[in-house]
Structure 1
Amino acid sequence: MKRILEYVKKYKLFVIIPTVAMIISIALDMFNPHLIQILIDDVIKKGHYNMLKTIIMAIAGITISRTILGYIREFTFDYLSSRVSIDLKRDLFSHIQSLPFSYFDNMNTGELMSRVDSDIDNIWGTIGFGIGLFVENSIYFITASIILFSINWKLALFTLVTMPIIGFIAYKLEKEIDKSFDAISDHTSVLNTTAQENIAGVRLVKAFAREKHEILKFVKLNNKNYELNIIKTKIWGKYYPVIEFLCNISILVVVTFGGLFVIKDNMTLGELGAFNGYVGMLIFPMRMIGWLTNMIAQSSASAKKIFKIMDIEPEIKDKENPIRLPNVNGNIKFNNVSFKYNNEYILKNINIEVKPGSTVAIMGPTGSGKSSIVNLIGRYYDVDEGSITVDGYNVKDICVKDLRSKMAVVSQDTFLFSDTIKENLLFGKENATMNEIEETCKISCAEEFINSLEDKYETVIGERGLGLSGGQKQRLSIARALIRNADILILDDATSALDMETEYTLLKNLYERTKKSTTFIIAHRISAVKNADKIIFIEDGRIVEEGTHESLLARKGKYYDVYCSQFKDFQDIEKEVV
């Protein structure tokens, strides 16, 4: 919780104002039992009725003042907690954005959502209500204890004898319930992940008629969540009734021994009434200690999870004084590059040289390392051995933001936001004009289907592009990349969902563009790569063939085998015709 207080310190004014309001309110409240004492001893017993009006006005004045001060305290504490919550969410989200691809490869979306949402809300509740209540109860406890000893130290000792026991029980409660909340927090992220994945993949679930299986899986996890909460409730039930019992014992002590002191004239009836009022101020904090322990333990568990993420150092970041690249020609070299993932070599001794404005196609079996090659250019992952240079500069020395701003990527996983087609395209270049958008959509062969929609570019598409075909999503993704007019263009299996005719037209448009980006095309179809300036065939993380379409066919190696398998039907037809 120390790190949470660092956020609180930034808003000192909103700590001071409610604290001052709280102290004044408590100070005013301390007069109430004393006024009750005067009312009993002087007004009722001695008949000084002329004091009644003054006492009533004083109590009314205190009540109204405490109401106003209470509003100021609650509002400012709530404002403080909201500001801290905003800052925490901003910092956590910003830090998540700085983490590399490798982090998200092993992290569930549901867990991150739990951290950004419910865990920060737990902290929000503690700051907005818990900390203020803790400070208030501490002041009440200390002040009321001092006053109780000043009224009758013997009775005060009898009353306070249970307090150390309550404190010890609260300590034990905090220790046990903290572990319980930790387990609940972990499992909540698993539950959220399961729900998120199922909702995102609901079409797949229905297509395979797996609704029952998914329901049973969720029910199992939900029952586990129930069991963890029952464990928490049992811990709470074991300790809180004892705290409540000891608090009631204090009241019994006051009534019993206080009554004896009044009978023996060791204290007045008014003093006993006042003493009872101050004991109430003492008992309320004791009753709240279990509830506060519960809240603090919950937010402490959440804070651990949040700062565990924020303590992760980004593996890929700028070196001190990185090279700034205002312009990029697009000369790219792989120099003896090797790359490991999970301690296993994915790429081995890769050497590639790409001239500015040329097109390089990469082919190979699934899992051969094709995507890994292009992912290394933008430092989405870092090489383990060798180096990659852009215009002669090692990518590790270049400012990451500058490097990636000169690139446009269409990945295998076509992702579109739940927004209009226009806004999805503006993601590539936020200040693009409508003319630029339309021109880009012509190149990507997306213009025709967009104009067939009722709202055209203002058409709102569903989550991840639902409502569009696979080919339509790919064409929009390509348009989003092209509108950036980047110096380096990467198309990672970006035309796999297109028909042959559309693919041919799109690639022809790319080759005829005025600006020649250094382009990498990863594809499985010969038709997508045959016009590239250089074709690289990769297998088991190594380059096994390299050349143009014609030279590779003449070599009759791996590329030739793929060509024959894809065009076998056409060759058979030609033979039949002959």
Structure 2
Amino acid sequence: MLKIFKIVPGKVKLYFFIGVFLLLINVVTSLLVPMFMSQFIKLIAQGSNSKSADIVLFQKFIIFRGQYDQTIKALIILTLSTVIISFITSLASIIITTWAGNETTNFLRDKLYKKMQKFSLKDIASISQESLITRVSNDVAQYWDFLISSTSTLVRAPLLIIGGTVFALLTDMTLSVSILVIVPILIGLIAFIMIKAAPLMKKNQVVLDEITKEVDENILAARLIKIYNLKDMQEKKFTSTNDKWLKLQVKSNNIFAIGHPFFFALINVVLVLIYALAGIKIWNGFDDYNYLATINIFIEYMFLISFGIVLLSQYLIVFYRAKVSCGRINQVLDFKFTNLFVEDGEYLDKDNKKGYSIEFKDLNFKYFDTSKEKALSDINFKLLPGQTLGIIGPTGSGKSTIANLLVNNFEYKNGSIRIDNKEVNKINSKSLHENVGIVYQEAMLYSGTIRSNLMFAKSDASIDEINKAMRVSCAIDFIQTFEDRLEHPVEQRGKNLSGGQKQRLSIARTLLRTPKLLILDDSTSALDNITTNKLLKGIKDEYDCTTVIISQKINSIKHADLILVLDESKIIGKGKHSELIENNDWYNKVYLNQLQKLEE
């Protein structure tokens, strides 16, 4: 927790300390109020017939002496002034510390987000997407609770306990015996509650990750759930996880709930003990009309001590929850990510007129070092500048892995991958991403307009460049049907567009960057054959680039200069379409099957 606070900006820390200082003044004035209130009881008992009266603190220190009516007025002014100071410092402290807390959480979320931006796909998978979401949202919120509690409760509670105890001892030593009864019992109760509840709170955060994961999956797969009538099954699955969270929450809350009735019962017992001790003292001959005021002020301090202990117990609940959250936040901040960003690497030739060459040599790749099976095994091929590479194979054969390795999304250790005769992991990352474009099967569109989504690729793109990209990608076909054309709204994830429309818009966006190497990772899967052929021909004719086409449809890759057939992470066939038809059984079987479906 302190580790996180150390990285907070100095200005924010200063505001926290100002808030704490104001809170100190508030607590001191709060401790003085009961003492002033008890003086009213003493003056009432003394009577207005007295010629003079005093305002005495701790039965020893006279702070004012005068006529009876003057003393009453002075006491009223002192009490009201103390209450006003207490109110103002409390309000100011809350405003300042809340602002500082919000600034801290804003800073922390920003830092987490920037750190996660550096994560590779492998790093994200090792923590999980849903856990990262929970850490940025819920865990940071828990830390906010901790900060606010630390600058209020953690400061207030010890001062109330210590200050109340000191003031109570100065008020009456005999009655202070009751403190020896209540304090150890309350501390023991708090310790018991914390020991029992801490493991439950830790489990609760883990289950919360599971809930986030299931909600995310159900939202993204809403159509699939409806199509296959999986609603009941998914509801049961979510209810099971939610019930698991509920049981842990109820169990921990029940443990915390034990303290409240026990606390109030203990207070009543202590009150009886105070009155019993006072009665014994009077029985033994003590006779002082001021003793009623002494009993009253002592009870007030007992309540302040008890209140401080209860506040401390509530703070410990927040503390343990935040401790779990801080551990999870620190795991992200301290995470040794796979640094795939190359700052001082080689630059690709952006003025290249033909496109880049590609060469894979003796490549073997695993997603995780502990994995038994390879994702790619003994991959060797070479593609000349301006040529087209087609990749086909069953699901899980390693097609998309090749695409991700070409844009350096994963770290490879065995073998070589070269673009334009430069090792991929030694190419400057900015240069790589500016000159190599990739379009994934799942088109990622942001809420906004068609224009704003296109401009992500090139913010200063001219209207001619935009029109060319839309025409070649065949996106112009559907954009022209909208009255507002480029200003047509796009909902989050492009929910108001069809699958084919989203894919064409994604391809147009990538073409705007005029990449020298274009990778289409099954990104024409939602397009019909006529549109696909028209799109691929347009790219070949109007853009000077090397193209990699990953597809399950042979029609999309049959005109490629080189086709790779992958199965179980290996190349089981390599050549042109006509060659593979003759000498590769898997390719020939798929081709005949797809041809038959087209004829039907």
Query: How far apart are the structure 1 equivalents of 2:597 and 2:180?
Result: 94
1:162 maps to what in 2?
Answer: 182
Query: How far apart are the structure 1 equivalents of 2:220 and 2:505?
Result: 21
Match for 1:91 among 104, 111, 126? 111
2:365 maps to what in 1?
Answer: 339
- CA shift for structure 1 position 43: 5.5
| Residue pairs, 1:54-93, within 5 angstroms | 54-93=74-113
Q: Secondary structure at 2:509's aligned position in 1?
A: helix
Query: How far apart are the structure 2 equivalents of 1:231 and 1:393?
Result: 60
Query: How far apart are the structure 1 equivalents of 2:578 and 2:192?
Result: 78
Match for 2:345 among 323, 340, 343? 323
Q: Residue type matched to 1:529 in 2?
A: I
More displaced stretch, 523-532 vs 226-235: 523-532
Query: How far apart are the structure 1 equivalents of 2:166 and 2:18?
Result: 26
Query: How far apart are the structure 2 equivalents of 1:335 and 1:360?
Result: 16
- CA shift for structure 1 position 228: 1.5
Tell me: CA distance 1:417–1:443, structure 2 relative to 1, closer, same or farther (3 Å).
same
Tell me: CA distance 1:543–1:212, structure 2 relative to 1, closer, same or farther (3 Å).
closer
| Residue pairs, 1:228-307, within 5 angstroms | 228-261=248-281, 264-265=286-287, 268-307=291-330
Query: How far apart are the structure 2 equivalents of 1:87 and 1:431?
Result: 31
| Residue pairs, 1:453-492, within 5 angstroms | 453-492=482-521
Is it true that 1:17 corresponds to 2:18 in the alignment?
Answer: yes
Tell me: CA distance 1:163–1:223, structure 2 relative to 1, closer, same or farther (3 Å).
same
CA contact (8 A) 2:16 2:151 kept: no
Tell me: CA distance 1:50–1:411, structure 2 relative to 1, closer, same or farther (3 Å).
same
2:462 maps to what in 1?
Answer: 433
- CA shift for structure 1 position 259: 4.8
Instruction: Tell me the matched-pair count.
Output: 570
Is it true that 1:381 corresponds to 2:415 in the alignment?
Answer: no
| Residue pairs, 1:131-150, within 5 angstroms | 131-150=151-170
- CA shift for structure 1 position 243: 3.7
Tell me: CA distance 1:305–1:57, structure 2 relative to 1, closer, same or farther (3 Å).
same
1:29 maps to what in 2?
Answer: 30
Match for 1:414 among 428, 443, 460? 443
- CA shift for structure 1 position 79: 0.7
- CA shift for structure 1 position 309: 3.4
Q: Residue type matched to 1:138 in 2?
A: P
CA contact (8 A) 1:426 1:432 kept: yes
1:3 maps to what in 2?
Answer: 3
- CA shift for structure 1 position 550: 4.5
Q: Residue type matched to 1:27 in 2?
A: V
Query: How far apart are the structure 1 equivalents of 2:329 and 2:220?
Result: 25
Task: Give 5+ residue unaligned stretches, structure 2.
Answer: 49-67
More displaced stretch, 67-76 vs 431-440: 431-440
Q: Residue type matched to 2:494 in 1?
A: G
- CA shift for structure 1 position 173: 1.5
Query: How far apart are the structure 2 equivalents of 1:564 and 1:471?
Result: 25
Is it true that 1:502 corresponds to 2:524 in the alignment?
Answer: no
Q: Secondary structure at 2:448's aligned position in 1?
A: coil
CA contact (8 A) 2:340 2:411 kept: no
Query: How far apart are the structure 2 equivalents of 1:568 and 1:190?
Result: 45
CA contact (8 A) 1:358 1:533 kept: yes
- CA shift for structure 1 position 185: 1.5
2:556 maps to what in 1?
Answer: 528
More displaced stretch, 146-155 vs 115-124: 146-155
Query: How far apart are the structure 2 equivalents of 1:397 and 1:141?
Result: 62
Tell me: CA distance 1:40–1:415, structure 2 relative to 1, closer, same or farther (3 Å).
same
Query: How far apart are the structure 2 equivalents of 1:331 and 1:265?
Result: 105
- CA shift for structure 1 position 109: 4.2
2:172 maps to what in 1?
Answer: 152
- CA shift for structure 1 position 204: 1.9
Query: How far apart are the structure 2 equivalents of 1:327 and 1:164?
Result: 76
CA contact (8 A) 2:348 2:432 kept: no
2:237 maps to what in 1?
Answer: 217
More displaced stretch, 346-355 vs 307-316: 307-316
- CA shift for structure 1 position 260: 4.1
CA contact (8 A) 1:325 1:402 kept: yes
CA deviation map 1:484-522 (0-9, x unaligned): 222321101111221111111111110012x41222111
Is it true that 1:200 corresponds to 2:220 in the alignment?
Answer: yes
1:355 maps to what in 2?
Answer: 384
Match for 2:334 among 311, 314, 318? 311
More displaced stretch, 50-59 vs 221-230: 221-230
CA contact (8 A) 1:420 1:460 kept: yes
1:175 maps to what in 2?
Answer: 195
Query: How far apart are the structure 2 equivalents of 1:213 and 1:454?
Result: 42
Query: How far apart are the structure 2 equivalents of 1:558 and 1:228?
Result: 53
- The TM-score normalised by the length of structure 1 is 0.91
Match for 2:426 among 397, 405, 408? 397
Q: Residue type matched to 2:575 in 1?
A: G
- CA shift for structure 1 position 438: 2.4
Q: Residue type matched to 1:546 in 2?
A: K
Query: How far apart are the structure 2 equivalents of 1:146 and 1:204?
Result: 68
Q: Secondary structure at 1:543's aligned position in 2?
A: strand
Query: How far apart are the structure 2 equivalents of 1:438 and 1:244?
Result: 75
1:539 maps to what in 2?
Answer: 567
CA contact (8 A) 1:339 1:385 kept: yes
Query: How far apart are the structure 2 equivalents of 1:530 and 1:196?
Result: 38
- CA shift for structure 1 position 46: 5.2
Q: Secondary structure at 1:467's aligned position in 2?
A: coil
Query: How far apart are the structure 1 equivalents of 2:437 and 2:302?
Result: 70
- CA shift for structure 1 position 444: 0.2
Q: Residue type matched to 1:325 in 2?
A: Y
